[in-house]
Amino acid sequence: MRFTEFINAHLFNYCQANKITFTRSRPGNKNDGAHVEQKNWTHVRQLVGYLRFDTDKELKVLNEIWRLDQVFTNHLLAQSKLLERRREGSKVTKRHDRPMTPAERLASHVSTSEITKRQLEATTTTIAPKALGDEIATLLIRLERLSAYKPKTKPPMNVNRSFNSKPDPEIFGEAMNQRSRRI
C-alpha cells in the first residue's frame, strides 16, 4: 500500500500541528513494511501466489485453504523461538529453545486449562498430514483454474478530474498529480 492511500489532508494537518512524524518504514528501506511483508510472504504468497482472487467462488476456496492451512501450521509445523542473543565483538551468538508447534506451545503454557490441552492433543492426533497436504494442493489447483477461467473485469471508470483541481485535496499524492510525497 502506498503512503498516499491512507493519509488525507485532515490527518496530515492534525499531525503537523501536534508534531507527529510519519515514517514509512525502517530507516534506509524504501517501501518496506517489515513484519507485515514477512507474514504476507510466508502465509499468503508462498501458499496461493500473486494472482487476484475477487469472485465469490474464489473466496469460498480461499477460505477453505486458510482453514486447512491453519490446522497444518498450528499443529504440524514446529518453530524455534529465540531465547537469547549475545554479541561478543563481531560475533553474535543466538540460543533457541527446542522446536515446538504453536499448539504444543499453547498446551505447555501454565495458564492453559486441562480441557484445552486435551482438545489440542485430540485435534493433533486426528490429523493425517499427507491427506491434509493433498487436500490443500487440490484446492490450490482449483483456485488457480477458477482464476484462469473467470470472465474479464470491466475497464476502470473515468477519473474525476474536478477533484484533482481542489486547493485542499483529500489525498495528497494522487490529488496533486505527484507520484509520491515524502514527509
What distances in angstroms separate CA 177 from CA 22, 159, 183, one per listed residue? 21, 12, 16
For residue 32, tell me if it sits in a domain: no
For residue 4, tell me if it sits in a domain: no
Q: What pairs with residue 171 in β-bridges?
A: 8
pLDDT of residue 182: 41
Radius of gyration of the chain (CA): 24
- Residue span of the structural domain in which 141 resides: 40-149
Residue 71, burial from CB neighbour count under 10 angstroms (0-12, 13-18, 19+):
middle
Task: In whole angstroms, give the CA distance from residue 56 to residue 59.
Answer: 5
For residue 3, tell me if it sits in a domain: no
pLDDT of residue 42: 73
For residue 182, tell me if it sits in a domain: no
For residue 174, tell me if it sits in a domain: no
Q: Let me know how long the chain is.
A: 183
Task: In whole angstroms, give the CA distance from residue 152 to residue 160.
Answer: 24
pLDDT of residue 1: 39
pLDDT of residue 176: 46
pLDDT of residue 7: 66
Task: In whole angstroms, give the CA distance from residue 86 to residue 92.
Answer: 6
Task: In whole angstroms, give the CA distance from residue 108 to residue 80.
Answer: 14
The reported pTM is 0.61
For residue 179, tell me if it sits in a domain: no
Local confidence pLDDT in tens for the 183 residues of the chain = 344 455 677 877 888 898 887 665 566 665 566 555 666 677 788 888 888 888 899 999 999 999 999 999 999 999 899 999 999 999 999 999 999 999 999 999 999 999 999 999 999 999 999 999 999 999 999 999 998 888 776 666 666 555 555 555 454 444 444 444 444
Residues 19-66 pLDDT 10s: 887 665 566 665 566 555 666 677 788 888 888 888 899 999 999 999
For residue 145, tell me if it sits in a domain: yes
pLDDT of residue 16: 85
Task: In whole angstroms, give the CA distance from residue 53 to residue 35.
Answer: 23
H or E element, residue 169: none
pLDDT of residue 164: 53
Count structural domains, the chain: 1
For residue 158, tell me if it sits in a domain: no
Q: Give me the sign of the Cα torsion angle 121, 125, 126, 132.
A: positive
pLDDT of residue 110: 93
pLDDT of residue 180: 43
